[in-house]
A and B are shown apart, each in its own frame.
Chain A
Amino acid sequence: MSLAYERRLPDYLRAQQVAIEGIAKEAGLEFFPLMFEVLGYDQMNEIAAFGGFPTRYPHWRFGMEYEQLKKSHEYGLSKIYEMVINNNPSIAYLLEGNSIVDQKLVMAHVYAHVDFFKNNFAFKVTDQGVDRRTGEPIRKWLDTFANHGSIVRRWARRIGVEPVERFIDACLSLENLIDPQKPFRPSRAPEKSEEEEALPEELRLLRVDRDYMESFINPEEFVQAERERVAEEKARAKRFPESPDRDVLGFLLVNAPLERWEREVLNVIRREAYYYLPQMQTKIMNEGWATYWHSRLMTEKICDGSEIIDYADRCAGVLATSPGQLNPYKLGVELYRHIERRWDRGQFGREWDECQDYATRAGWDRRTGLGQKKIFEVRALYTDVTFIDEFLTPDFVAEQKLYAFGWSERNDRYEIETRQFREVKSKLLTQLTNAGNPIIRVLDANHENRTELLFEHDHQGVDLRLDWAQEVLAALNRVWKRPVELYTVAEEKPTVLRYDGSEHTRQSR
């Protein structure tokens, strides 16, 4: 097994890097130190299969990814130009044998990515502390992932490859059950003091000055309702978890009856899931930002006359759209440009919002020149959902020809449904919410007083794929080791799916 690749950056690329780094800095980008490495396509495919990290825990799905990348490369279907890892210092990979224009493009693109990693708030969750000396965040994920690898390898040696791999399979089925908001909430609610807990819950009845008015001011039904409320509050306090928990992985990690190796493996999966989370939450913003900057830097500073056509050709390939797909590069870059234009001309604020006159709006230019400042602010403070929610405008939707499509039962195909702003926006937001995953919460860890684990699916109009949901329940059962149950909605009927360790059942509720 070879441990080190031939990675040294050749001199001519090194010179390019120095030049481009200077240009990027001058343009206002602010990034971690960045190291480029040149890889042959085979190594590129390998590292891509590992999700960007040259060492990962052993698992067959990386082999599957690799086979897919390799085959589609060999059959000439696709190739990977570059990869960049959110790490401090950041690492980016260049593909050996790419033309110099491509390499420059990739470098410009990557510097913007790293600026995004460093400055976007969502990526703060990947901080592993702060370097006292420099005040820069510590992100040694390369090491962390390598450690994860050795943890899993160690257990595989002790317990056996097969049981560990099976357990990882189960954990991977649960990988998307994490809570995007969790990192931003205080870690734990303050413990209630003893006295507070000891206080008897009182009925909140209205004050009565004269006894004979009692039955009018606090009628029997009201008293009864109050009693029920108090009883329910008490019951809730006893329930566990107290409020529904979306961090299913975290919940299992703390509360499931796991053996030590199982707990460590589950922890690996969970930490890596949280590491990748911000990248999923900011796909459009991140790619848009990188595309915005590579196109500006390349056309304004980097390319000479002989390169501009090659650059334009490559860039057009990246921005191409095809029916039924959403190209995050295209949508992102256009939206940044839209924002920049609006803030340059002062097309914001109350006056702008209230103006209904088409001609006035079309010619609106207050020469505010705030565009640059605004997009830098946006790249720091938004994620895809809020980005779209706040800045997608009817003008933009019309200009970019966005449409919503859906499945047509009648024609047995996907069809364009509408170009109406409201529908397009709402569909886009639905698609991005929770990175396109259904929202699942732990409801009760002692369901029916039988230590069975109960989940709810927050049904927002789209059903779950039921056969898969059942498989996931089996995985949950593997971890929880007791029967598991899921409340969901199937074909407009409230439904309970249950797996008790040997048999799946499905009932309406």
Chain B
Amino acid sequence: MTLKIDQDHSRFRNIVRGKIRQNLKKYISQGELMGKQGKDVVSIPIPHIDIPRFRFADKQQGGVSQGEGEPGDGVGQGQGQKGDGPGEAGKDAGQHALEVELTLDELADILGEELELPNIEDKGKSAIVDQKDRYVGIRRVGPNSLRHFRRTFKTALKRQISMGTYDPKNPIIIPTRDDMRYRSWKTKDEPVANAVILYMMDVSGSMGDEQKEIVRIESFWLDTWLRKQYEGVETRFIIHDAVAREVDRDTFFRTRESGGTMISSAYRLAAQIIEDDYPPSQWNIYPFHFSDGDNWSVDDTNVCVGLLKDTLLPASNVFCYGQVESPYGSGQFIKDLNEHFGEDERLITSEVKDRDAIMGSIREFLGKGK
């Protein structure tokens, strides 16, 4: 059925896709559909265009609310009272947002739909085989724990009816030994698509908390999406300043170092990890590297290019480099990469200026379905 709003809706979609009205692009942000994932509230990305107005700076404002708590207690998601636009004032007893629990799978679906991500094509590696038990059949003997109640009941019923011992007024069914049915399983060999995500992050002095937060949010979504695509995704974390080391997830997001930046150290370590644990013939490998792009020297950048060319790119499904903008500006590295690998489809670069740019960047990384 067509609606009058369809015209406005498709116009909006076209603006979001960047087909028309380029001047509005800077106001597009990810919206505020809130969903809950376990204890965390996650916002589901839905494109939103803000119309700029004279507004109060949000954080100075605060507001009034009601409920329990002592002065000094946090009030959670407090957004203050966001002034309702006149567009909203019309629907009176209308919207009441409910928070719902979402599974990671659902989140990934929503993300995929919102960003129009293609499903990833497996490299077709089926070297790793896993054995799986599936309950596919029925047999007459088996342990009681696998007894199939309904089938047993049906057989007993059939037998009693055919024997004429079934009384509809007093429908008691008593299965005999012959009536018992049990589930049975078959063991199957299944090829497993295996993937490993290698996160690398620059933790040198110039990467601030905000930059890390951006990396954290972005990697949460990357993680969610890739986990949806592959069973058994492994993740490895590398941090680097002038030297690189492998760390656990928690350290990855919290560490702050202060040294200079030698990106090659991280690439060398990544290459090492791949060589030791993940033979490229059997694994889908996704290295993601986030940095502010301020590499130490041209020489080091050349080393990086060499490592990418010889080891990392041939081994990976796709190598993604995300450059976040630090207070000290955005570095040269992304330009160097684009210069060397501009044509190469295996390397994707993306600039993440601020939080609002995250979704766009994810689309760039995953949009090719590799």
Contacts and interface: CB of A to CB of B under 8 A. Distances in A.
Interface of A: 1-2, 42-43, 46, 48-55, 58-69, 71-72, 75-85, 106, 109-110, 113, 162, 165-166, 169, 172-177, 272-273, 276-277, 279-280, 283, 286-287, 290, 317-318, 321-327, 329-331, 400-407, 411, 413-419, 424, 427-428, 431, 435-438, 440, 457, 461-469, 471-472, 475
Contacts of B84: 280, 283, 435
A317 B96 contact: yes
Nearest to B72: A415
A314 B98 CA distance: 12
5 contacts: A77-B99, A84-B92, A176-B83, A329-B93, A404-B62
B118 interface: no
A169 B90 contact: no
B117 interface: no
A90 to B, nearest CB: 11
Given A403-B69, A416-B70, A464-B56, A65 B87 contact: yes
A42 B3 contact: yes
Interface of B: prevailing SS: loop
Nearest to B69: A416
Contacts of A66: 5, 8-9
A-B residue pairs, 10 tightest by C-beta: A324-B78, A406-B62, A63-B12, A414-B78, A63-B8, A276-B86, A52-B90, A471-B52, A63-B9, A436-B83
B288 to A, nearest CB: 27
B35 A75 contact: yes
Contacts of B12: 60-61, 63-64, 67
Given A401-B66, A414-B75, A416-B71, A276 B7 contact: no
B2 A78 contact: no
B58 interface: yes
Given A403-B65, A440-B54, A54 B4 contact: yes
Nearest to A455: B54
B64 A402 contact: yes
B55 A468 contact: yes
Given A77-B98, A403-B69, A324 B4 contact: no
A58 B8 CA distance: 6
Nearest to B49: A64
Given A60-B8, A67-B12, A413-B74, A173 B65 contact: no
Chain B, interface residues (CB within 8 Å), range: 35 or more
Interface in B1-59: 1-5, 7-13, 15, 20-21, 23-24, 31, 33-35, 44, 46-49, 51-59
A19 B83 CA distance: 37
A428 B64 CA distance: 6
Contacts of A279: 86, 89-90, 92
Given A72-B97, A283-B89, A323-B69, 15 more contacts: A42-B1, A61-B49, A67-B12, A68-B33, A83-B91, A83-B92, A173-B52, A280-B84, A283-B84, A287-B93, A324-B80, A326-B81, A402-B64, A418-B71, A468-B53
Contacts of A42: 1, 3
B168 interface: no
B131 interface: no
A50 B5 contact: yes
A276 B89 contact: yes
